[in-house]
């Protein structure tokens, strides 16, 4: 027989890698073509002029220029009016 009791397993030793989300280029800053402006989960920010949204909701610039954030009112499902922040490259 063993003289040492069986040790239990620890459940809190695993951790996921950081995802580095957030705004990468702020308003009135210059961005290159293809440069990432916002990394996000979901659509907190929406793509406007000269900006495109990737499949993981990352917004990037289609042309080089200055970044501009605009708040607009949008219709949701035809009845509810909400505000959305659009990212434009001017």
Q: How far apart are the C-alpha atoms of 34 and 59, rounded to whole Å?
A: 9
Query: What letter does residue 26 receive in the DSSP assignment?
Result: -
Q: Which domains does the chain have, with CATH numbers?
A: 22-89 (2.40.50.100)
CB 65 within 8 A of CB 43: no
| pLDDT, tens digit (0-9, with 9 covering 90-100), for 12-66 | 788 889 999 999 999 999 999 999 999 999 999 999 999 999 999 999 999 999 9
More confident residue, 71 or 8: 71
With cut-offs at 50, 70 and 90, classify the pLDDT of residue 11. Answer: confident
Which residues, including other chains, have CB under 8 Å from residue 49's CB and lie 6 or more apart?
88, 89, 90
| pLDDT, tens digit (0-9, with 9 covering 90-100), for 29-42 | 999 999 999 999 99
């Amino acid at each position: 027989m063993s003289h040492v009791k069986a040790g239990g397993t620890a459940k809190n030793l695993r951790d996921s890698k950081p995802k580095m989300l957030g705004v990468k280029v702020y308003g009135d800053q210059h961005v290159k073509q293809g440069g990432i402006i916002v990394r996000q989960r979901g659509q907190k920010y929406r793509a406007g002029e000269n900006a495109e949204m990737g499949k993981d909701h990352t917004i990037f610039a289609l042309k080089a220029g200055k970044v501009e954030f605009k708040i607009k009112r949008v219709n949701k499902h035809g009845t509810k009016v909400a505000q959305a922040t659009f990212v434009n490259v001017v």
